[in-house]
């Protein structure tokens, strides 16, 4: 009798049993979120003070060379104008000496440009990404660009015209060594321009290497 009742209950479930089974939730293990990985904080590069000094020293030396040659084209053009006056019959006892002084100055600036080009190349493998270094590199690149433009488009052409003019004048009128001095002026101007051209590429590379 009891077994028949149990079978009948199984075949005809009550509303309470249906309701309880509908809301029965399967047991699940609680999921514990894993701790996030620590974020790596990039430490700023410590720039050695001696490297900042080298950048700053090169900037100052480059600015000095740029400033010293600001009026160079005008000075060379003045010498060419004096040579033309001599060609037309004027007399200037100091003309040969003026040429000699100009050649000496250009030789000195050529040596300075050679030294600065070497210093600039030495900075390239030492460069690191840093705002202060990048600001200094941009100042260097600015002065080098001005120097290169000046010698490429102004000084070199003026020096060549001076040489042609002096060579067209009798050496008895301008001095026995005037033609040699004028030739040296033209040669030094070309030499400096070659150096400023190379420095211009290196200065641009220095800006890229220090860009934060």
User: For 9-18, 52-61, 139-148, 163-172, which range has the lowest pLDDT when averaged over its residues?
Assistant: 9-18
Q: What is the pLDDT of residues 22-62, one digit of tens each?
A: 545 555 555 555 656 555 555 566 888 999 999 999 999 99
pLDDT at 4 over 50: no
Q: What is the pLDDT of residues 108-135, one digit of tens each?
A: 999 999 999 999 999 999 999 999 999 9
Q: What is the pLDDT of residues 54-90, one digit of tens each?
A: 999 999 999 999 999 999 999 999 999 999 999 999 9
Let me know: does 126 contact 50? Beta carbons within 8 Å. no
Q: What is the pLDDT of residues 84-110, one digit of tens each?
A: 999 999 999 899 999 999 999 999 999
Contacts of 129 (CB under 8 A, 6+ apart): 45, 209, 210, 211, 212
In this prediction, residue 17 carries a pLDDT of 53
Domain 49-210 has CATH 1.20.58: yes
Q: How far apart are CA 80 and CA 26, in angstroms?
A: 103
In this prediction, residue 96 carries a pLDDT of 93
More confident residue, 22 or 137: 137
In this prediction, residue 5 carries a pLDDT of 43
pLDDT at 12 over 90: no
More confident residue, 41 or 163: 163
Q: How far apart are CA 107 and CA 184, in angstroms?
A: 9
All structural domains of the chain with their residue ranges: 49-210
More confident residue, 148 or 171: 148
In this prediction, residue 21 carries a pLDDT of 52
pLDDT at 175 over 80: yes
Nearest-5° angle of CA 81, CA 83, CA 86? 115
What value does the CA radius of gyration of the chain take, rounded to a whole number of Å? 41
């Amino acid at each position: 009798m009891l077994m028949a009742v149990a079978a009948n209950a199984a075949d005809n479930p009550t509303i309470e049993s249906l309701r309880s089974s509908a809301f029965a939730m399967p047991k699940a293990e609680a999921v514990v979120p894993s701790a996030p990985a620590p974020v790596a904080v990039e430490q700023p590069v410590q720039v050695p003070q001696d490297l900042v000094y080298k950048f700053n020293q090169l900037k100052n030396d480059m600015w000095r060379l740029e400033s010293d040659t600001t009026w160079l084209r005008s000075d060379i053009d003045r010498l060419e104008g004096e040579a033309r006056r001599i060609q037309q019959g004027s007399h200037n006892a100091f003309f040969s000496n003026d040429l000699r002084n100009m050649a000496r100055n250009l030789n000195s600036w050529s040596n300075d440009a050679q030294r600065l080009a070497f210093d600039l190349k030495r900075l390239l493998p030492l460069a690191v990404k840093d705002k202060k270094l990048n600001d200094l590199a941009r100042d260097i690149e600015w002065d080098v660009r001005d120097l290169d433009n000046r010698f490429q488009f102004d000084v070199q052409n003026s020096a060549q015209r001076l040489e042609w003019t002096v060579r067209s004048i009798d050496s008895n009128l301008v001095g026995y060594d005037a033609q040699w001095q004028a030739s040296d002026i033209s040669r030094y101007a070309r030499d400096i321009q070659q150096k400023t051209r190379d420095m211009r590429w290196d200065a641009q590379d220095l800006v890229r290497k220090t860009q934060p």
